[in-house]
Structure 1
Amino acid sequence: MLRWLIAILILANLVAFAAIRGVFGPTPASGSRDSLPLNRQIHPERLTVRPIAASESVDVPVVGGPVAEPAVQASALTQ
């Protein structure tokens, strides 16, 4: 029983070693093959900060204010 466990562990180590060496293809850490995500990155120098107008702050909750009741209707279940 123990011999089989040791044999399986050695085989798993050999497969892991082969995968690290690139037998099954390039590893994800070897570099990006697709440049599209690099082109879609946000550049911080292009971002601007502006204050929120009163008309835009409808969904912003007031911290420390009372919690509004949810708009959910409840009824008794029938059997």
Structure 2
Amino acid sequence: MLRWLIAILFLANMLAFAAVRGVFGPLPSAGLREPNHVSRQVHAESLRIRPMTAAEAADQAVVGEPAPSAPIAASALTQ
């Protein structure tokens, strides 16, 4: 009984090794399967970096501090 289990495990390991080595064809991660995604990627050379202005930095959360309160004007409701 144990001999059959060892033989089956050995064959399963050999099958997995053959699959990893590419006997059954290339792995899915080996090439481009969806070339339209590559054509839609952002090119790094077309990006521009600019510093943030004070107005843009005002609504950014600061790590380690409480969240800023929203500037909401409240008034009493009339009935």
> How many corresponding residue pairs?
67
Distance 1:27 1:62 in 2: 44
The letter for the 1-side match of 2:23 is R
Tell me the equivalent position of 1:67: 66
Deviation at 1:49, TM superposition (A): 0.8
Gaps of 5+ in 1: 71-79
> Which residue identity lines up with residue 6 of structure 1 in the other structure?
I
Q: Let me know the Cα RMSD of the aligned residues.
A: 2.9
Residues in 2 aligned to 1:2 and 1:9: alpha-carbon distance in whole angstroms: 11
Task: State percent identity of aligned pairs.
Answer: 52
CA distance in 1, matches of 2:67, 2:30: 52
| Deviation of the 1:33 alpha carbon | 2.5
Equivalence for 1:7: 7
Q: TM-score, normalised by structure 1?
A: 0.56
Alpha-carbon spacing, 1:69–1:44, altered in 2? closer, same or farther (3 Å)? closer
Give TM-score, length-normalised by structure 2: 0.56
> In structure 2, do the counterparts of structure 1 residues 26 and 63 end up closer, same or farther at CA, with 3 Å as the change threshold?
closer
For residues 1-26 of structure 1, give each alpha carbon's deviation from its aligned partner in whole angstroms, at most 9, with x where no partner exists. 4313311212212322443311xx54
Q: What CA distance in whole angstroms lies between the structure 1 residues aligned with 2:37 and 2:67?
A: 41
